[in-house]
């Protein structure tokens, strides 16, 4: 009895240590986000509402119209640079893009992004000045429409800022607009944090669940270290992008960030596809038991161990850097509703913690085959999402072009990396076909191994 109690206490102690490590991960994530509120730019202009941001962007966009001259290389570059400043310094850095996607719709954000592309494309192709002006005017209209929607004001308003004393004297319509503005900040922060954080949480939780399910808890340390290094790296990376922005320029910093995120996405696709394919190959109980017998003490190979840790690092590093830069933009740009921003962050953290628990803890209780099938398909889906988003990041940096798919009628699902562009969809379709072929191959292979094992058992 004492021996049994000792084993129980030992097991409980191990679980408590794991819980502490997981708690530390989430605590460090909160610290990482808090670092985002450190001043990023000493001379940053504060804007009281999104309309003011749209007005500031309009100045740069109008400058592009003024300096553009067809056939003049320098004039074309100056016009393109002016549009890029409006995009990277305002639309992306201050959080206009992410807030639009969260509070309005991902489809709307994708439409505005495409309008930026159309404006730059018209300049690149030496279009008539009137055509360039029309494209930029359409972009300015979109920006102001979204700004008024986010501020909860009508298009005739100059500003949506209201003091607390003014709220009591507002009409019903104005009051609803003011509430929309304030809670818009909450939903923008909540939506962005969930969208970005969910990807990292899903990857880390799936890996943790896999290691727990296969009695490889000793390797959880490597996964957590990978996540911790990802947090540290994301903070450093955000600082590097800030330094580049201060010394070289906003455009160069923004493009560098997009290129890094795109490459990180592609690396994650490769690693996740490898890991998910490996998991699927071990989904049959008999196949897994044979694997265990050949592996001694149920340990994963060094190569797989590194792949799992590196995947955890990539997932956190990529999402962490983007979150930090977004919250810096929120702090230095839209500062009217800090409480709603903090509440949105807190609610998102709670939801992410619940998701992590459900995957890392509850899914472990599933039978072996459903568990491996679930985690492998989860990673396959993340591969498709990361591939689409990685191409999207390079498109924002003007590394890859974009060709709209007409029959999609502007529909996109930014959350899972599906866009109405051929450059994004074709690679995803190819990956989907490869995935289906891989699944069929692994299933046939597993059946063959199971048949061999059953035949050998009958001989005995």
Give the pLDDT mean for 142-149: 91
Contact 368, 213 (CB under 8 A): yes
Query: Residue 176: how many CA atoms within 13 Å on its side-chain side?
Result: 4
Contact 364, 225 (CB under 8 A): no
Of the ranges 126-130, 291-295, 368-372, the best mean pLDDT one: 126-130
Query: pTM score, two decimals?
Result: 0.64
Output the pLDDT for position 273: 84
Q: Following DSSP, what letter does each residue of 393-432 receive, concatenated?
A: HHHHTTSS---B-GGGTT--BGGGTB-SBHHHHHHHHHHH
Residues 41-84 pLDDT 10s: 334 567 778 888 999 999 999 999 999 999 899 999 999 999 99
The radius of gyration of the chain's CA atoms, rounded to the nearest angstrom, is: 25
Of the ranges 131-145, 158-172, 190-204, the best mean pLDDT one: 131-145
Q: Tokens representing 237?
A: 């990376």
Query: Residue 352: how many CA atoms within 13 Å on its side-chain side?
Result: 28
Q: Tokens representing 336?
A: 């009217």
Give the pLDDT mean for 343-365: 78
Q: What is the largest CA-CA distance in the chain?
A: 89
Is 70 exceeded by the pLDDT of residue 459? Answer: no
From CA 423, how far away is CA 395, in angstroms rounded?
A: 9
**What band does 287 get if pLDDT is binned at 50, 70 and 90?**
low
- Mean model confidence pLDDT for the chain: 73
Task: Tell me what percent of the residues of the chain surpass a pLDDT of 70.
Answer: 65
From CA 436, how far away is CA 337, in angstroms rounded?
A: 47
- Least confident window among 219-223, 336-340, 383-387, 436-440: 336-340
Q: Tokens representing 399?
A: 């590394």
Contact 326, 95 (CB under 8 A): yes
Output the pLDDT for position 23: 47
**Of 9 and 458, the one with more pLDDT:** 458
From CA 187, how far away is CA 39, in angstroms rounded?
A: 23
Residues 3-19 pLDDT 10s: 544 444 444 444 445 44
Closest CA to 150 of 114, 112, 188: 188
From CA 310, how far away is CA 274, in angstroms rounded?
A: 12
Output the pLDDT for position 35: 45
Is 50 exceeded by the pLDDT of residue 118? Answer: yes
Output the pLDDT for position 179: 53
Is 50 exceeded by the pLDDT of residue 403? Answer: yes
Task: Tell me, letter by letter, the H, E, C secondary structure of 123-184.
Answer: HHCCCCHHHHHHHHHHHHHHHHHHHHHHHCCCCCCCCCCCCHHHHCCCCHHHHHHHHHHHHH
Residues 404-457 pLDDT 10s: 888 888 777 777 788 889 999 999 999 999 999 988 888 787 777 777 766 766
From CA 153, how far away is CA 175, in angstroms rounded?
A: 10
Residues 146-184 pLDDT 10s: 998 887 776 554 444 444 444 444 444 444 445 555 566
């Amino acid at each position: 009895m004492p021996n049994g109690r000792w084993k129980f206490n030992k097991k409980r102690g191990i679980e408590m240590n794991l819980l502490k490590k997981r708690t530390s991960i989430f605590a460090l994530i909160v610290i990482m986000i808090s670092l985002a509120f450190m001043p990023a730019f000493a001379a940053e202009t504060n804007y009281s509402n999104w309309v003011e941001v749209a007005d500031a962007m309009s100045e740069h966009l109008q400058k592009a119209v003024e300096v553009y001259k067809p056939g003049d290389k320098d004039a074309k570059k100056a016009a393109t640079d002016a549009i890029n400043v409006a995009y990277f310094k305002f639309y992306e850095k201050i959080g206009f893009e992410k807030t639009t996607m969260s509070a309005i719709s991902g489809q709307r954000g994708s439409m505005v992004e495409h309008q930026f592309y159309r404006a730059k494309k018209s300049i690149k192709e030496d279009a008539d000045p009137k055509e360039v002006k029309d494209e930029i005017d359409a972009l300015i209209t979109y920006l102001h429409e979204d700004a008024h929607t986010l501020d909860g004001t009508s298009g005739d308003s100059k500003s949506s800022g209201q003091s607390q004393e003014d709220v009591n004297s507002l009409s019903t319509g104005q009051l609803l607009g003011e509430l929309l503005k304030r809670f818009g900040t909450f939903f923008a922060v909540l939506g962005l944090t969930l969208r970005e954080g969910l990807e990292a949480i899903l990857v880390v939780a799936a890996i943790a669940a896999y290691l727990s399910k296969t009695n490889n808890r000793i390797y959880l340390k490597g996964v957590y270290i990978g996540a911790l290094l990802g947090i540290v790296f994301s903070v450093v990376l955000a600082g590097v992008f800030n330094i580049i922005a201060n010394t070289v320029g906003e455009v160069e910093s923004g493009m560098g960030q997009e290129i890094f995120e795109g490459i990180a996405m592609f690396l994650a696709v490769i690693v996740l596809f490898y890991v998910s394919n490996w998991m699927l190959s071990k989904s049959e109980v008999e196949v897994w038991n044979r694997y265990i017998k050949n592996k001694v003490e149920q340990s994963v190979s060094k190569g797989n161990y590194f792949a799992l840790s590196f995947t955890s690092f990539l997932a956190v590093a990529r999402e962490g850097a983007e979150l930090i830069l977004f919250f810096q933009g929120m702090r230095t740009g839209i500062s009217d509703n800090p409480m709603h921003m903090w509440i949105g962050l807190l609610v998102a953290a709670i939801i992410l913690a619940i998701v992590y628990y459900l995957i890392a803890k509850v899914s472990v209780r599933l039978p072996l085959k459903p568990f491996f099938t679930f985690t492998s398909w989860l990673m396959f889906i993340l591969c498709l999402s990361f591939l689409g988003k990685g191409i999207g990041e390079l498109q924002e940096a003007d590394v890859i072009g974009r060709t709209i798919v007409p029959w999609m009628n502007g529909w996109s699902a930014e959350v899972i990396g599906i866009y109405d562009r051929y450059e994004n969809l074709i690679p995803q379709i190819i990956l989907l076909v490869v995935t289906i072929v891989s699944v069929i191959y692994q299933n046939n292979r597993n059946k063959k191994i199971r048949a061999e094992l059953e035949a050998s058992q009958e001989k005995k």
